[in-house]
Structure 1
């Protein structure tokens, strides 16, 4: 029973979390260490693995994100990295990039990002309960909803697994 109470406390904490909208992202260029701090502060409470400079450099090398301008990262970079951080445990970087490109082909990047964040924040606010979600009217909206459902399911399942796992018994060596 104590474990279930712990789960409810965690669920209530998650419901308070919010991923920042485009207008809440820094409006000035950031260096790598600032980007790392920003991304990890935003996603860390969701149990997302920390992002590292090597990961970001790899994303640039493989053209998952645009190259920084004079080693400085802009708002678009931050939005992409937040999405990659959320989706990377579930999808390949190629799939993530293709999804971002598809969604932003029909909408401005700022609006597409904010639509995703609105739906994700709504799902976080209702984590662990049934609630009405906006019915998708386009394939892009459906794609975003399915991705958000996958993120929410991953966050919950990983937390539940860590809460119910029993420490492995050690076998004595003879």
Structure 2
């Protein structure tokens, strides 16, 4: 596969994936079944397998029990609950529940249910996911570089063995990239926790 074909295939995959737009989220409170149905329909393109579940009742209940998700009001979930669940969904594939809690709790504590304040949870969601287009372009450029580099490994080899080893090289490069970024996120979380425990840091 050449670089042009590879990038074309990747772009096709990217175009199938779309984030949940705030305006698509119902402005009325939803029951648990309605939340899971909504999330499943909106994020269906991100499934790896057809029978994968985006969110289950058990998952949502566990998030609430672990103080990751604010409790529902009379068994109903608001638009802000859904926004929080979307953040959790994207984080949970690479981070532990405790790390997600450290990242999200300061946000939900300050902005959840504060629609009348200068900044709402919906405003934060729009701002963050508004970066999606430019970030996709950056990722495409980075993928092209990694793909080209991996296709130049194991010079002198041809045939299926060469294809297998070059594909392995590409996977290793992508994996190392994910590992480094995950490590950076964990270091940031640790720093946040350290500052939270140190009153002198908070004063600064």
TM-score after normalising by structure 2: 0.53
The residue that corresponds to 1:98 in the other structure is: 102
Unaligned runs of 5+ in 1: 131-152, 158-174
Query: For residues 46 and 10 of structure 1, do their structure 2 counterparts lie closer, same or farther at Cα, with a shift above 3 Å needed?
Result: farther
Unaligned runs of 5+ in 2: 112-118, 143-173, 179-204
Q: CA deviation at 1:74?
A: 0.7
**Counterparts in 2 of 1:1-174, with a 5 A limit?**
1=1, 5=5, 8-9=8-9, 11-47=11-47, 50-103=54-107, 105=110, 107-124=119-136, 127-130=139-142
Query: For residues 73 and 63 of structure 1, do their structure 2 counterparts lie closer, same or farther at Cα, with a shift above 3 Å needed?
Result: same
- Give RMSD over aligned pairs: 3.1
TM-score after normalising by structure 1: 0.61
In structure 1, how many angstroms separate the alpha carbons of the residues matched to 2:63 and 2:133?
25
In structure 2, how many angstroms separate the alpha carbons of the residues matched to 1:93 and 1:44?
23
Question: Is the CA contact (8 Å cut-off) linking 2:20 and 2:43 kept in structure 1?
Answer: no
The residue that corresponds to 1:149 in the other structure is: none
Question: Is the CA contact (8 Å cut-off) linking 1:21 and 1:113 kept in structure 2?
Answer: no
Which protein has the larger Cα radius of gyration, Structure 1 or Structure 2? 2
Deviation above 6 Å: which 4+ runs of structure 1?
A: none
